[in-house]
Structure 1
Amino acid sequence: MTGFRLIVIGDSTVGKSCLIRRFTEGRFAQVSDPTVGVDFFSRLVEIEPGKRIKLQIWDTAGQERFR
């Protein structure tokens, strides 16, 4: 099985965690605590019959700094 890592970045409080939770768990959270550091989610996706990939999704806190 092939795996991929995705890192979701963006400003704080824009809904990154809600979108990722909807994609991985199939539901929206009514109340969501702010992400501290990084959260990890994963999901198996069938890209064609009999071929699946594992997505590991990293949810960041929205406070990244790049130099």
Structure 2
Amino acid sequence: MTEREIKLLLDAHAIKQIQVHYAVMSQGYMIVADGKPLETGKKETREFKTLDATAKLLFKLGVANFSVRLRTTA
């Protein structure tokens, strides 16, 4: 799901949940909307180096309520 698709779905109130996951392999963060990761135009998962950078993009898209998962396993 691209940034544009997320914006369109947000405008239509079609997204139920936004999460920020810590990506252990890349030592960064990724945005997951309703179970689908945010992707680049080349269909690669978009990664952010800091939580601040991730939140900045979410705020730009109009998302003020999201959860952060620092561990993806139980």
Query: Normalising by the residue count of structure 2, what TM-score does the alignment of the two structures yield?
Result: 0.28
More strand by percentage: 1
Q: Looking at CA atoms only, which structure, 1 or 2, has the larger radius of gyration?
A: 1
Report 1 or 2 for greater relative contact order, CA contacts < 8 Å, sequence distance ≥ 6: 1
Query: Normalising by the residue count of structure 1, what TM-score does the alignment of the two structures yield?
Result: 0.29
